Amino acid sequence: MKGIGQNFDDFMIEQGLYEEAKELAAKRLIALQLEEEMKKTAHLKIRNGRKNAHFTHCRGQCARLYAQHFHRNP
């Protein structure tokens, strides 16, 4: 291990954690972006009074996938 000033990426690589952390960060970013888009779409549909069963079904599926990824119950 290098001393003070070691690059954090190098440290993570040395510890064998870099790829896993990078993959998890990307998944979390995608999940957060998806959640934000779902909220925007839901808000617009409710505001415009156009609820439909397909949207609700898709939103439920996305929520379940998100929950499974982060080990939460939907």
Secondary structure E strands in the chain: none
Higher pLDDT, 8 or 40: 8
As a whole number of angstroms, the distance between CA 37 and CA 59 comes to 11
| pLDDT band (50, 70, 90) for residue 2 | low
Location of structure tokens 């690589």: 13
Q: What is the pLDDT of residues 20-57, one digit of tens each?
A: 999 999 999 999 998 888 888 877 776 666 555 455 55
CA geometry: angle at 47 spanning 43 and 48, to 5°? 120
Looking at residue 22, what is its pLDDT? Answer: 93
| Dihedral angle computed from the Cα positions of residues 67, 70, 72 and 74, in that order, rounded to the nearest 10 degrees | -10
Location of structure tokens 């510890």: 15
| Full-model pTM | 0.50
